[in-house]
Amino acid sequence: MGLLWEDRAWEEYLYWQTQDKKTLKRLNAVIRDIQRDPAGGMGKTERLRGNLSGWWSRRIDEVNRVVYYEQDGIIHIASCRGHYEK
């Protein structure tokens, strides 16, 4: 599956490239797993509710999450730093 990064998410991804290689390595592993199976797999997958219904969250570590949704075979990544906003 292809990836489409929201501007904010891409800036967060670039942050990890310069600030924390361990988190970047884990983030890349989570993204590869999302491409294989958007609804399950590593990172404690959670279906979001309320305003974010249809979106998914996966843990990168105890503080950071990847927030995304899949549409027409494309993974749309909204965030990859911090926790999702309600």
Known catalytic residue at 62: no
- Parallel, antiparallel, or unpaired: how do β-strands 56-59 and 46-47 relate? antiparallel
Q: Is the dihedral of CA 7, 13, 14, 19 positive or negative?
A: positive
> How many C-beta atoms lie closer than 10 Å to residue 5's C-beta?
16
Concerning whether 46 is annotated as a catalytic residue, the answer is yes
Which ranges of 4-84 would DSSP assign to H, the alpha helix? 7-19, 21-36
Residue type, 41: G
Tell me which of 12, 70, 83, 85 is the catalytic residue. 83
Active-site position among 6, 46, 70, 76: 46
The residues carrying an active-site annotation are 46, 83
